[in-house]
Structure 1
Amino acid sequence: MRKKITIVCSSVTGKGGTETVIKKILYSKKLAKEYTFRLFLPFGIQNFGWIKSAPNLEGIISLPFQDYGNLVSKVVRLSLSLLLYIFAGEQIFIISNSRQIMLAETIKKLFHKKYVVVSWMHFSIYGVPTIEPRFVEMADKHLVISEGIKRQLIIDKVKEQNIFTIYNPINKTSDRVYRSKKGIAEFIYVGRIQFDKYKNMRFLIKGLAKLKVVWHLRIIGSGPEEDLEAIKSYAKELGIIDNIDFLGWSDNPWEQLEEVDALILTSKSEGFGMVLAEAISRGIPCVSSDCPVGPKDIIKPGVNGELFELGEVNDFVYKVTKVLESNYNDVEKIVASLEKYYDEKYEERFTNAIDKF
């Protein structure tokens, strides 16, 4: 008999890295043989299209989409969550929200429930306002998407035998993106538009302004209008606005790319760094901040990109220049550097972990 699993996560838009991973799970034929899945979305969902026809999804419990909401929405969210855990028939809850972990564990103890509570955090458990580390530690088991999160849990006295590193799955593709031959360094940024928050695009603009080469940046992504305007205003202030094209959101950003010299990520914090892996899987070298907690698992300096010290603009300029001047033309070597992350390996890691719960 297949195990019943409910995945619980915070507000989802359908566009982020977490959604990409959930989609992989819900469409996996191999995982469908072992498990049935439901989604509990206490903060709602903006777009159902990305999971509408998922064959492994047996049901969705969702409130209207919200960020954190007013008092009424908080009370409704709490009530629905308590009822779910009290009357749960699931064997396993995989939860990416720290307060939901606390609620599930509290109900489990009060009502003597038999389900297993599993944390599945997609960001550093430190430094993120919506994550409470002491609640994460309450989980019975922990699926982690990076070695950095595993180290954080061990430091917090979580037993290593209860931590299972499964990373995130990457689709193996035959698409390839080669280096530019135009004499202009072609850079891309793919992801959420955030000026000062986690994506730290103020630093991206500041760093590029200090480069001594001719360059062009394509920004693919969406975000709050005020962040977009702040980026444009800052780029104008530094005299580089004409070097940048803002292309907006794309469901498949990679199909519009032919020649790219590097993908650049200047985040203050990541969980895994899905966009790095997606770029590398196509042969694009990456330059990323060495932020908590995922890029270090993905970037292999000298092979598929470079890491720079978070907040150090001179190191950023040095590492970007190094990628441009070093031999990053062997796209197959870059692609091969991610071998352990591709889909079939992920399914094995996921199944091996769940079978130990």
Structure 2
Amino acid sequence: MREKILFLVPYLSGHGGTETVLTKVLTSEKIAQSYDCQAFFTAGTDNSEWFSAFSEKITGSQRCGKIAALLRTLQVLRRFQGTKIICLSSKPLYLAWLARRLFSKTYKIYSWIHFSLFDEETVKPKLLKYADYHLAISTGIKQQLERLGVPAEHIFVIYNPIERHQEVVERDPQRLHLGYIGRIELEKQKNLAGMLAALKLLQQPFTMDFYGAGVDFERLQAYLKQHQGDFRGTFNLKGWVTNPWQQLKEMDALLLSSNYEGFPMVILEAISRGVPSISYDCPTGPADIIIDGVNGYLTAMTPAALAEKITLLAQHKDNFTPATLKDSLAKFYVDNYERRFVAALQENES
């Protein structure tokens, strides 16, 4: 008989990398051979489209207030008859621990946090002590957990999965063609202000495509209109696109100037389609994916360093062959990820 696992999921917009990874896990036939996976939204969601294909595995999708969320989560935990609780945010860890004591449960509690532990305001590091084990999506998060005093044998680095893609995004034969895909946020996590400062330093003509929406979309529009003369390039603001990779015809490099990440899926998405990535070496994730000179470049977290690597790639962009880029992601492809995920959960079952 398959073991039952319950994922406790915080509010998700439906458009991010966490949703992509959770979808892969809940729909995986390989994982389903060993585990009966269900997910409960502790605070509901406003977007049910992204899990419509596997809605039978989802409960708690209706939005509710904090008190109602607390009470219904405790009720779900009281009724749960499985062996593992996996929490995608830090706050439910304490509830899972408390319910285990109150209701005499024997399940094991895992954390599975998708952001840098010390940079994302929704992550409360002090609550991580209530987990028995930890699924780390990057080596950086593993190191952060060890700094919090978690024994190394209680941490399992599983990364995040990516599908193998046959298609290849072509290089632009006319000029340097750059792109960004993600939330439009000038400061805070995504730090597009740092990217814009780097683009100002470029000496060659370029095209820069922004795919995404966010609180700063109109600010970005206004800034580019006001400062267009400061750049040697042109900008295309595409807005929110459900699948930008279906629209993209040409891109020489994907850019990321985040102050922090968890494990940036967009880098995997780009490299798996033959597009090298240039990213700040921020906590955490990019350093696990990018191999300098093979599938992109890591840079110091300054606009000058980012501009330097963009220029270097522009001079050698034909050296980044699609086959080499795709091969560099071998350990992240879904089949290898599924084996790693199952192995991590089975490690402490004996």
Instruction: Give me the TM-score of the superposition, normalised by structure 2.
Output: 0.94
C-alpha distance in structure 2 between counterparts of 1:263 and 1:41, whole Å: 32
Select 2:76's aligned residue among 63, 77, 84.
84
Per the TM alignment, residue 87 of structure 1 is displaced from its structure 2 partner at its CA by 2.7
Pair 1:239-2:228 in alignment: yes
C-alpha distance in structure 2 between counterparts of 1:329 and 1:162, whole Å: 38
Pair 1:162-2:146 in alignment: no
Q: Indicate the residue corresponding to 1:45 in structure 2.
A: 45
Select 1:345's aligned residue among 336, 342, 347.
336
Q: Which amino acid aligns with 1:105?
A: W
C-alpha distance in structure 2 between counterparts of 1:272 and 1:44, whole Å: 24
Select 1:178's aligned residue among 161, 165, 170.
170
What is the percent sequence identity of the aligned residues? Answer: 37
Q: Indicate the residue corresponding to 1:63 in structure 2.
A: 62
Per the TM alignment, residue 232 of structure 1 is displaced from its structure 2 partner at its CA by 1.8
Q: Which amino acid aligns with 1:191?
A: G
Pair 1:323-2:313 in alignment: yes
C-alpha distance in structure 2 between counterparts of 1:162 and 1:114, whole Å: 18
Q: How far does the alpha carbon of each residue in 1:209-233 deviate from its partner, in whole angstroms, 9 at most, with x for none?
A: 2211101111111112xx1111122
Q: How far does the alpha carbon of each residue in 1:281-330 deviate from its partner, in whole angstroms, 9 at most, with x for none?
A: 011010101110100000100100111112x1111111111111124341
SS in structure 1 of the partner of residue 31 of structure 2: helix
Q: Indicate the residue corresponding to 1:69 in structure 2.
A: none
Which sections of structure 1, spanning at least 5 residues, go unmatched? 66-72
Pair 1:250-2:249 in alignment: no
Pair 1:194-2:193 in alignment: no
Within-5 A mapping of 1:73-112: 73-112=65-104
Q: Indicate the residue corresponding to 1:70 in structure 2.
A: none
C-alpha distance in structure 2 between counterparts of 1:329 and 1:97, whole Å: 37
Q: Which amino acid aligns with 2:60?
A: I
C-alpha distance in structure 1 between counterparts of 2:335 and 2:96, whole Å: 31
Per the TM alignment, residue 59 of structure 1 is displaced from its structure 2 partner at its CA by 3.8
Pair 1:282-2:281 in alignment: no
**Contact 1:137 1:153 (8 Å CA) reproduced:** no
C-alpha distance in structure 2 between counterparts of 1:239 and 1:47, whole Å: 36
SS in structure 1 of the partner of residue 49 of structure 2: coil
Q: Which amino acid aligns with 2:149?
A: K
Q: Indicate the residue corresponding to 2:140 in structure 1.
A: 148
Q: Which amino acid aligns with 2:121?
A: P
Alignment length, in residue pairs? 345
Per the TM alignment, residue 238 of structure 1 is displaced from its structure 2 partner at its CA by 2.7
C-alpha distance in structure 2 between counterparts of 1:159 and 1:58, whole Å: 32
- The answer to which of 188-197 and 232-241 deviates more is 232-241
**Contact 2:87 2:110 (8 Å CA) reproduced:** yes
SS in structure 2 of the partner of residue 195 of structure 1: coil
Pair 1:10-2:2 in alignment: no
Per the TM alignment, residue 77 of structure 1 is displaced from its structure 2 partner at its CA by 1.3
Pair 1:222-2:221 in alignment: no
C-alpha distance in structure 1 between counterparts of 2:79 and 2:284, whole Å: 35
Which sections of structure 2, spanning at least 5 residues, go unmatched? none
Q: Indicate the residue corresponding to 1:68 in structure 2.
A: none
SS in structure 2 of the partner of residue 54 of structure 1: helix
Q: Which amino acid aligns with 1:321?
A: T
Moved over 6 A (4+): none
SS in structure 2 of the partner of residue 247 of structure 1: strand
Q: How far does the alpha carbon of each residue in 1:130-155 deviate from its partner, in whole angstroms, 9 at most, with x for none?
A: 11111123200111110000011111
- The answer to which of 326-335 and 213-222 deviates more is 326-335
Instruction: Give me the TM-score of the superposition, normalised by structure 1.
Output: 0.93
